[in-house]
Each structure stands twice: as structure tokens, then as C-alpha cells.
Amino acid sequence: MSESIRETRSKDTLGFSGEPVIQISGMNKWFGQFHVLRDIDLTVCRGERIVICGPSGSGKSTLIRCINRLEEHQQGTIVVDNIELTDDLKQIDNVRREVGMVFQHFNLFPHLTILENCTLAPIWVRKTPKAEAEEIAMEYLTRVKIPEQADKYPGQLSGGQQQRVAIARSLCMRPKIMLFDEPTSALDPEMIKEVLDVMVDLADTGMTMLVVTHEMGFARQVAHRVIFMDDGQIVEQNEPEPFFNNPQSDRTKFFLSQIL
């Protein structure tokens, strides 16, 4: 069993060619005494789209939160866009400019309008002139299909609309990589599709995406690779078709039988 895990994991990039943009090797993380991520090796290439699934508490959210240093790892290395994540705060800020993140609970800024939510980082971090930042913001708000909400506040929008704004807000920084942490888990069933549609559109633009989600339809449709995690470890990874149709590990089989 443990042999087969190692076997599956060593197929690092599954033949997806391109320059590696995220390289994680031998990474371990603990929360106090709890070993939440165990010996993670993962390479992501530019343009690659990865869906990470697994039971709750398996460390999948923690893994992608380590990529933009919302969580700190204690062992191993993480290199994002040729920058290694260390205690160097300047480097961390540099990585965060290139990595967008969408959260389960949207985390829009409630005291700012939709437009201000989208222009804040370009103006303060990228030093973009205000007019230009607003132009970029309207472009992305149009792309997520809510330009008419620009002057409202987040509290006036539905969950699905808020999450689409959150995606637009990240895209306004023109990131090289997008991380999604269960983007549809907090939404009413009626609103899941509008958010997934936006994510599919984004996938079509060739964005590098790491998505933690249980939306298996989405995984089949857009992922180059599906990663299954359990107990802080990568248990199995494969292209979507073989992953869903012919899972190798018993743990994966059991998980898929529960959710499909």
C-alpha cells in the first residue's frame, strides 16, 4: 500500500510540459503537535490546472495556503515563480503579487464598494493610476458578468455575485497563478453554477489554477490533474479520466464512492 502511494506520487507532473512555476519538495508542516502536511512533493507547470480533493482535515486548504504563505511551512522548500518562500517579508510580498487567491467565504472588504475592492491592490501595490485601475477593474467585472454592480457594497450582493467579485478582485492584480480554496462551498445550490462558469472561462484563458473543491464535474471538465489528499499526504494523483474511472488506492476508491 505505502509502496503504491510512493509510486503514484512520483509521477510528478504527469507529462504536462512547460516551465515549472511552483515547485514544492519535501515539505512538512505542523500545527502545534499535529502533523498537518507530510512530505509533500508537487510541481506545477505554467498553464496547468490542478484540482485538489480529499476529506476535511486532509490538509488540502493548508497546502494551497502555504503557496502564498498564509501558512508557514516548517520543513522542505517551496519555490513560486523562481522565488523561494522564506522569512524574507519582501519576497513574500513579491510572491503574493503574482498569486491570486479566492476564499471559501469571499472575504470582500465590506467597507469598500465593489469597484474599490477591485482597484485597491492595483493602486496601492502596483502603483497603477486610479483611472487605469478602474478601467482594468471594469474589464474584469464585465468578464465575471457584474459590471452593473460596481458602485454597490458587498453586503448588497448575493453570495454568488460576491464570489465572482472576489475572483475579479484577484484578477485585477493580473496574477500568474490563481488559488481557489473551496470557492463554492459556502454558496446556495442555485449560485454554484454561476461561479463555476466564471472559473471555466478563466481556465480557457490558460491561467495556472490550483483549485480545492468537491465539484467533480468541474474537475473532469477543466483539470489537467486531480490530486487526492488524506491525512496530510498526497495519496493519489492522475489525469481526471483515469483518476475517476480507475482509482488505484483503496482510500481514493472509498472517497469517490462516498461523493459521486
Partner 1 sequence: MIEAMNTHNRPFVRTEHLPQSPPPVSTSGIIGWARENLFSSPLNAVLTIASFYFLYLVIPPFVQWAFIDAAWWGSSNKDCAGYDGACWAVVTARFGQFVYGFYPEAERWRPNLVLILFAINLLPILWDRVPGRTIAALFLVTGFPLVALFFIHGGLGLEVVPTPKWGGFMLNLIMAAVAIIYSLPLGILLALGRRSEFPIISRFCVLFIEFWRGVPLITVLVMASFILPFFMPDGFNFNELLRALVGLTLFSSAYMAEVVRGGLQALPKGQTEAARAIGLTYWQSIRLIIMPQALKITIPAIVNTFIGLFKDTSLVIVIGLFDLLQVAKSSVTDTNWLGLEHETYIFVALVFFVACFAMSLYSLYLERKLDTDHRD
**By CB under 8 A, residue 155 contacts partner 1:** yes
Q: Is 57 exposed, middle or buried (0-12, 13-18, 19+ CB in 10 A)?
A: middle
Number of amino acids touching partner 1 (CB under 8 A): 25
**By CB under 8 A, residue 96 contacts partner 1:** yes
**By CB under 8 A, residue 103 contacts partner 1:** yes
| Distance, CA of 89 to CA of 242 (rounded, Å) | 41
Pick from 7, 84, 111, 142: which binds partner 1 (CB under 8 A)?
111
**By CB under 8 A, residue 91 contacts partner 1:** no
**Which grid cell sits at 241?**
479520466
Radius of gyration of the chain (CA): 18
* Strand-pair partners of 83: 80
Nearer to partner 1, 211 or 235 (CB): 211
**By CB under 8 A, residue 32 contacts partner 1:** no
What SS3 state is found at 59?
coil
Nearer to partner 1, 108 or 235 (CB): 108
**By CB under 8 A, residue 110 contacts partner 1:** yes
Torsion of CA 198, 61, 67, 6, to 10 degrees: -110
**By CB under 8 A, residue 83 contacts partner 1:** no
Our CA angle for 228, 233, 234, nearest 5°, is 40
Nearer to partner 1, 24 or 172 (CB): 172
Residues that bind partner 1 (CB under 8 A): 68, 70, 93, 96-97, 99-101, 103, 105, 107-111, 120-121, 124-125, 153, 155-156, 169-170, 173
